[in-house]
């Protein structure tokens, strides 16, 4: 149903609290398009309406879905969609305010209270999907073919009915719905609030730093500062490792119990169902990337060690700037111009769709105490508009993050035309516009490069982002697979989880790396493992898809723009095979992933050629 703000992109945990004045005026959210204030009468009105609407929906339809004709089922779905919009507006407002300052107890209370009210109000709706799924295939097909307007909702109904083999009794489903606020959601909040409250004493820094600023030091030109930051992170993570282990043990066990009752064949299966993607397609992606580790990350990091004049790399060297790179702070206005120009060069329509984010309070850009780390774009509801959160500190990578999140925003605006139930894009395709926006911005910057050193810096930065998107996220996925498999065998100690983390890190990063004591705890800060298990492969899926799409664009630019916007506008109304077919692409073909990976290889080839 309703959604909380989207997860933070783990590739973009870069921030620094110094030098903010040079950035110019950073925009803040204006959430009044949702509600004027937490105590605004409209909040109480909508909560009360939700109570009534859900009760009336249940009274009108519970036990009667199988008897509805096509027109009656269409009205039922439209009524459900209206409830979804109101619940989504309430929770979007509560969630966005909370992420602005997770340490504000009043904001945390407002979100928790709103979540409780919405959960209780919507409990009577649990029957809807259960009853819909009990309708046999033939009668359901007859209903869908009898009414064109109802047939529009076929993708929603089919995704819902994919859960038929895993459906529990009505009573159990209602219990799980009610219990959710003190289950996974509570552990998610504990994790968020703990992370936001951490501070790191970095040698050489006058005051303790928050997580964002400490992680940012891992990109500092000074190796001494990078090492100090890495050791500070390890110290704090280690001191909290028992708590983080408890969070992961509990959530993994909670998922295992749910999966067992639902007869899920694997821990990953629920994610594949929600993504509307076949397990074999994800497995083909995973296998292609793992097979490419030597050609991608191993080869690139060996090259980077040479640039840095090192025999071996430590973990604090992974995101180090190149020696030829001149540290630069990019002001907000310059970042806006760079991204908007890249968007406009591809299609004026793309820039027009992005413009309101800057001018109407749809972006919250600055780093502030208590603000959630990373970046996200949240679609809210189709009757409002998306919001983008950044932690912008003027790094070149921050400009790419802006391009990335604006891509999400453009996608969400286009997909909104599908309506609430059809607008949400499965995670496997949700990264398409964001990564494409990054690619457009990168290509613009590359074309403007004036020197060999500048081009090398841009190429290396793009390769590192791609490795972080593809290699690192598939390594994350493998870690989660190992974690959930191991948890089925019993409680995991912190050392057990640490060992699983190190097994995938060594494999994915390659033999050039040595790992400092303490790096084994770095799994603990990745929010996706907590908030949305197995989410991370969507990043690799999106990057591979975009690389293949961009290759098509370069080869045949004529007509590409129209097909691209049609794909984004489809939202969740079509399967990935239908969306890719106009471009002559098929994600089920193993060579599809090799096509995307070959683009990364070609950039590394160019970097190697620069050494000659």
Can you tell me the distance from the alpha carbon of 602 to that of 319, in angstroms, rounded to the nearest whole number?
20
Say what the pLDDT of residue 325 is. Answer: 64
Residue with tokens 């879905």: 65
Which residues touch 205 (CB under 8 Å, ≥6 apart)? Answer: 228
Cα atoms in the 13 Å half-sphere on the side-chain side of 75 = 9
Q: Check: CATH 1.10.3720.10 for 20-184?
A: no
Instruction: Output the six-digit token pair for 561.
Output: 């723009």
**Quick one: which of 469, 394, 341, 379 has its CA closest to 10?**
469
Can you tell me the distance from the alpha carbon of 27 to that of 43, in angstroms, rounded to the nearest whole number?
25
Say what the pLDDT of residue 7 is. Answer: 44
Ordered by start, the domain boundaries in the chain are: 20-184
CA 367 from centre of chain: 20
Say what the pLDDT of residue 496 is. Answer: 98
**Quick one: which of 449, 366, 377, 448 has its CA closest to 411?**
377
Say what the pLDDT of residue 369 is. Answer: 87
Per DSSP, 532 falls in state S
Residue with tokens 């006058």: 206
Say what the pLDDT of residue 168 is. Answer: 77
Say what the pLDDT of residue 612 is. Answer: 60
> Which regions of the chain are under pLDDT 70?
1-21, 325-327, 612
Can you tell me the distance from the alpha carbon of 384 to that of 256, in angstroms, rounded to the nearest whole number?
37
Per DSSP, 218 falls in state G
Can you tell me the distance from the alpha carbon of 373 to that of 392, in angstroms, rounded to the nearest whole number?
11
Instruction: Output the six-digit token pair for 270.
Output: 């629920």
**Quick one: which of 425, 512, 526 has its CA closest to 473?**
526
Q: Are 452 and 182 in contact (CB under 8 A)?
A: no
Say what the pLDDT of residue 14 is. Answer: 40
CA distances from 25 to 331, 341, 362, 365 (A): 9, 20, 14, 10
Residue 505's CB is within 10 A of a number of other CB atoms, namely 21
This prediction's pTM: 0.80
Say what the pLDDT of residue 100 is. Answer: 94
Say what the pLDDT of residue 10 is. Answer: 43
Say what the pLDDT of residue 21 is. Answer: 61
Say what the pLDDT of residue 2 is. Answer: 45
């Amino acid at each position: 149903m309703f959604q909380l703000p989207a997860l933070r992109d783990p590739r973009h945990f870069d921030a620094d609290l110094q030098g903010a004045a040079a950035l110019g005026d950073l925009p803040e959210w204006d959430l009044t398009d949702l509600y004027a204030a937490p105590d605004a009468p409209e909040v109480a009105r909508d909560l009360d309406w939700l109570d009534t609407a859900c009760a009336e929906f249940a009274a009108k339809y519970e036990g009667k879905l199988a008897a509805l004709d096509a027109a009656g089922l269409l009205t039922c779905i439209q009524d459900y969609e209206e409830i979804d919009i109101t619940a989504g507006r309430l929770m979007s407002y509560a969630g966005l305010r909370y992420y602005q300052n997770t340490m504000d107890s009043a904001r945390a209370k407002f979100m928790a209270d709103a979540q409780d009210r919405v959960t209780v109000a919507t409990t009577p709706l649990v029957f809807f999907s259960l009853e819909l799924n009990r309708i046999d295939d033939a009668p359901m097909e007859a209903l869908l073919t009898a009414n064109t307007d109802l047939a529009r909702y076929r993708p929603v109904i089919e995704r819902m009915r994919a859960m038929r083999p895993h459906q529990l009794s009505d009573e159990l489903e209602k219990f799980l719905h009610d219990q959710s606020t003190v289950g996974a959601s509570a552990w998610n909040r504990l994790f968020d609030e703990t992370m936001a409250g951490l501070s790191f004493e970095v040698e050489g820094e006058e005051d303790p730093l928050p997580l964002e600023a400490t992680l940012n030091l891992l990109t500092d030109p000074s190796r001494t500062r990078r090492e100090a930051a890495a050791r500070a992170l390890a110290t704090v993570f280690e001191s909290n490792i028992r708590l983080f282990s408890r969070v992961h043990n509990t959530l993994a066990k909670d998922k295992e119990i749910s999966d067992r009752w639902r007869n899920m064949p694997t821990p990953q299966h629920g994610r594949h169902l929600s993504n509307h993607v076949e397990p074999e397609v994800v497995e083909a992606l995973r296998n292609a990337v793992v097979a490419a580790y030597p050609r991608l990350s191993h080869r690139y990091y060996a090259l980077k060690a040479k640039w840095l004049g090192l025999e071996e790399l430590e973990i604090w060297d992974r995101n180090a700037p190149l020696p030829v790179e001149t540290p630069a702070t990019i002001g907000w206005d310059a970042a806006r111009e760079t991204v908007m120009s890249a968007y406009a060069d591809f299609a004026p329509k793309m820039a027009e769709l992005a413009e309101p984010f800057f001018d109407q309070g749809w972006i919250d850009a600055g780093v502030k105490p208590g603000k959630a780390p990373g970046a996200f774009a949240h679609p809210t509801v189709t009757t409002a508009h998306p919001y983008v959160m950044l932690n912008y500190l003027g790094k070149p990578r921050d400009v790419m993050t802006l391009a990335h999140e604006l891509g999400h925003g453009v996608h969400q605006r286009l997909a909104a035309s599908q309506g609430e139930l059809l607008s949400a894009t499965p995670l496997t395709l949700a990264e398409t516009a964001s990564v494409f926006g990054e690619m457009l911005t990168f290509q613009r910057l590359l074309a403007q490069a004036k020197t060999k050193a500048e081009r090398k810096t841009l190429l290396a930065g793009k390769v590192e982002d791609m490795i972080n998107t593809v290699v690192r996220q598939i390594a994350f996925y493998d870690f989660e697979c190992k974690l959930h498999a191991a948890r089925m065998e019993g409680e995991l100690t912190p050392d057990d989880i640490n060992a699983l983390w190190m097994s995938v890190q060594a494999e994915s990063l390659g033999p050039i790396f040595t790992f400092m004591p303490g790096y084994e705890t770095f799994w603990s800060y990745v929010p996706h493992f907590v908030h949305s298990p197995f989410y991370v492969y969507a990043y690799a899926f999106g990057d591979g898809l975009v690389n293949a799409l961009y290759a098509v664009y370069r080869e045949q630019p004529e007509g590409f723009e129209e097909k691209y916007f049609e794909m984004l506008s489809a939202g969740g109304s079509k399967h990935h095979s239908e969306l890719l077919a106009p471009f002559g692409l098929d994600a089920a073909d193993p060579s599809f992933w090799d096509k995307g990976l070959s683009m990364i290889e070609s950039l590394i080839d160019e970097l190697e050629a620069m050494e000659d």
